[in-house]
Structure 1
Amino acid sequence: MTNPDRIDDVDALRGFALLGILLVNTMAFASAFYGLELADPAFTGIADRTVHLVIALFFEMKFYLLFSFLFGYSFTLQMRSAEKSGEAFVPRLLRRQAGLWLIGVAHAVLLFHGDILTTYAVLGIVLLMLRNRSDGALFRLAKWLVILVAVAWGALGIVATLEPTPLDRPGILAAAKATELAFRGDWQAIISQHLTELSSVWVILGLLQAPSALAMFVLGLIAGRHKTLARPEENKALFQRLLRAGLWIGLPGAIVYAYASVEMIDSPVAIIGLSIGLITGPFLTGAYVGGVMLFLGTKAGQRLRNLLAPAGRMALSNYLAQSLIAALIFHGYGLGLIGQATPLTTVLIALGIYTAQLFISRWWMARFAYGPLEWVLRFITIWRAPQWRKPVGAR
């Protein structure tokens, strides 16, 4: 049975977010140097750096925030759904988060160490505990989460700049080459590499992404309470303000972050740029929300909604499918292209994957009520098998 509580604009935003997530994650699949303090020596030309600048400017540090905001918004939809069905919300949510965590662990071990689902699963429990706080208290929490994590990283960058330590270039090169060799291996070598990296990755996610993600969860919860995305006509002025704030605050901050992370990657100044990106990233993410919502209200926007919404309805399946396809392209059990594709080629690969997903999602959602993994997560959530196929004539 179709879900009458679904909001097409929320699904369209989620489908849009899949593009940014894919572009960033594919860059990580393509190069063992991604996230290190040294650029890949094989790709340091103007074209290569330009691609990295564009990805850092418009996509890094923004689209996981968009997903986080939508997670918080959807949290309120799940609360209303449980209320309508007469079922207790807390047990449902706990089962859902447990299922999400298990899927995330499998994703991290088998496909991509940069998995965000495990973080979302844990933060969802925190959001559950915050659900009865007032809007004002939640907004203050979100504000201070963003400020404090940015200040902490900024202070770290300043200390590192004032007391610099020599960059261990040979060590970084050796580590990157060892990682690349592992990812060119078989299943066992790749899983072993993922397990080796997981502890450090989870620490970084906890210190870098988790506070900002929780802040966006909270803002999404506030927006969901007021049905902001379900009432686009009433909230046009808000969307316009978000767009302006993103252009005046978010974009300049993103420029600083992008330049520092690409052109000054081997300098402690890159950490200061990161801190600026952390504090201004939510503004650019807000601009994406406002801009997309305003565009969806136009005639052309209706066509875009029809294209993006099916992908958003099965975002979990698409997210993991992106990792599977990228792994088959860049890892050793597939084409083994890690370290060989230029940044531009990598972007084109990502765009090809995304385009295919848009059309496959439209075909799938015309026939089925859930994406494959959405069905699994729904089963865990309600603890019974949901209807798989759509009834004849259902949207």
Structure 2
Amino acid sequence: MDLAASTPAPSNPTAACPTPPATERFLAPDLARGLMLALIAVANVMIYLHGRPYGLRQHTLTGNVVDQAVSAFLGVAVDARAYPLFAALFGYGIVQMIRRRQERGIAESQIRRTLRRRSVGLILFGALHAVLAFSGDILGWYGLLGVVLVRLLRLDDRALLVVASVWLAVAGAVQGVIFADPTPRAERSYFWSYTISDPLQAPGLRLLEWLMGPFGLAAVLSAMLVGAWAGRHRILEHPQRHRILLRRTAAIGITAGFAGGVGPALLGAGMWTPALPLTIAVSWLHVVTGVACGLGYAALIALVGASLTASGRDRHWSVRALQATGRTSLSCYVSQSVVFAALLPAAALGWGGWLGPAAAAALALATWALTVLAAAAWGERTGPAEAILARIIGGRRAPARATIRG
């Protein structure tokens, strides 16, 4: 698991990244996490809508032209794109955590034990989150993948990227089949719990839905592996040193992602009805380019962070608020679900039965904005969910100083 053994040394020793203080925060990773939560909110809120026909990827069909435009935009820019960004940052964070412990002289066996406890904590956290609020929870799946990732970190850079590429092709095929049917249906194919008005029956069904989740999210492991590779080279921590790579990744990844989302957008709008084999191929391409798009988003945010730092605008209150959101991303993620679960399911206030995709997207962005303000007000203290996870791991997390580096 020794990262140093699989990361090439810099050709110029003076170019090596200095070791930052343990409490120092870099802007780009936290900025990426803070902005990522806006995409996650918009993606997740759509799952709560119910009571009308369902189309491709379970998007609610209202017949309203604005709703259709929003659903099309989600197909191009958000669906299968937000969670790969989440996964890449998760993989990056694991490498950061390992490196910091290695630099403090902590034994490899203790690091492995901490990572296992963290993975178990995420699985438990995810199960509770799924039952109480959101069965589309990703935390449990990421906890399980974290165990896999730690084993794969023994590979060198080339092997790590090869595994990521091969897995993406295979997992993309599985997800492509799952999400290939654009036929409008009166009943849901999955995520049934949000249509059930019985508050006692819905939680049990949400647990079942949560257990089914990995089948529709298998491809995120590839993004996680690429994120770990980027973490080895500290690309998000020092974006100014990797501008060419980041620019290419942003341009190619986002362009490919948007292009790969056009087909599903047309299918979802009923403007194109190809034969089933072609529909599956289009769905597979949507998943594969979604991973590229998520990585492109991460690269673009890193470039923005570098520009903000270079211009001195990194001290603006809005940037600091987004960084605070990224620093408490677990708490903010769970908070979004609490709001949605209280307002939208049939077993709660039932707003999901009449809100369309456009209104739901507005609700999601408003909720995200509130979490940004709350994170800024919370300051440099450890987030509540982060503190609970730290307790599960078995240690205390010191409050992270918001010292910003490019």
Interval of TM-score (by shorter of Structure 1 and Structure 2): 0.7 to 0.9
Is this contact kept in 2: 1:38–1:266, CA < 8 A? no
Distance 2:287 2:245 in 1: 22
2:356 is the alignment partner of 1:356: no
Given candidates 281, 296, 307, the residue that maps to 1:298 is 307
1:65–1:196 CA distance, 2 compared to 1 (3 A):
closer
Given candidates 323, 328, 337, the residue that maps to 1:309 is 323
Is this contact kept in 1: 2:28–2:302, CA < 8 A? yes
Number of the residue aligned with 1:226: 233
Number of the residue aligned with 2:265: 258
Is this contact kept in 1: 2:331–2:386, CA < 8 A? yes
What amino acid sits opposite 1:330 in the alignment?
Answer: L
* 1:67-119 superposed Cα distances (whole Å, 9 cap, x missing partner): 10011111111112222333321000001000000000111111111111111
Is this contact kept in 1: 2:81–2:293, CA < 8 A? yes
Task: Count matched residues.
Answer: 373
Given candidates 275, 287, 291, the residue that maps to 1:278 is 287
Residue 385 of structure 1: how far off its partner (Å): 4.1
Distance 2:129 2:179 in 1: 32
RMSD after superposition: 3.1
Distance 1:256 1:384 in 2: 48
Number of the residue aligned with 1:17: 36
1:65 match: secondary structure: helix
2:355 match: secondary structure: coil
1:80 match: secondary structure: helix
Number of the residue aligned with 1:72: 91
Moved more, 142-151 or 65-74: 142-151
Normalising by structure 1, report the TM-score.
0.84
Is this contact kept in 1: 2:56–2:179, CA < 8 A? no
Is this contact kept in 1: 2:191–2:206, CA < 8 A? no
2:239 match: secondary structure: coil
Is this contact kept in 2: 1:20–1:63, CA < 8 A? yes
2:130 is the alignment partner of 1:108: yes
Residue 282 of structure 1: how far off its partner (Å): 2.1
User: Runs of 5+ in structure 1 lacking a partner?
Assistant: 162-166
1:135–1:27 CA distance, 2 compared to 1 (3 A):
same
User: Runs of 5+ in structure 2 lacking a partner?
Assistant: 1-20
* 1:93-147 superposed Cα distances (whole Å, 9 cap, x missing partner): 0010000000001111111111111110111000011111100000111111112
Distance 1:209 1:177 in 2: 14
Normalising by structure 2, report the TM-score.
0.82
1:227 match: secondary structure: coil
Distance 1:312 1:157 in 2: 30
2:336 is the alignment partner of 1:326: no
1:139–1:371 CA distance, 2 compared to 1 (3 A):
same
Is this contact kept in 2: 1:180–1:339, CA < 8 A? no
1:38–1:72 CA distance, 2 compared to 1 (3 A):
closer
Number of the residue aligned with 1:164: none
Equivalent runs, 1:86-105 vs 2, <5 Å? 86-87=105-106, 88-105=110-127
Equivalent runs, 1:1-395 vs 2, <5 Å? 3-31=22-50, 40=60, 43-87=62-106, 88-151=110-173, 172-174=185-187, 179=192, 182-186=195-199, 188-199=200-211, 201-202=212-213, 205-206=214-215, 208-210=216-218, 212-263=219-270, 268=276, 270-299=279-308, 302=314, 303=316, 305-332=319-346, 334-366=348-380, 368=381, 370-381=382-393, 383-386=394-397
Is this contact kept in 1: 2:37–2:329, CA < 8 A? yes
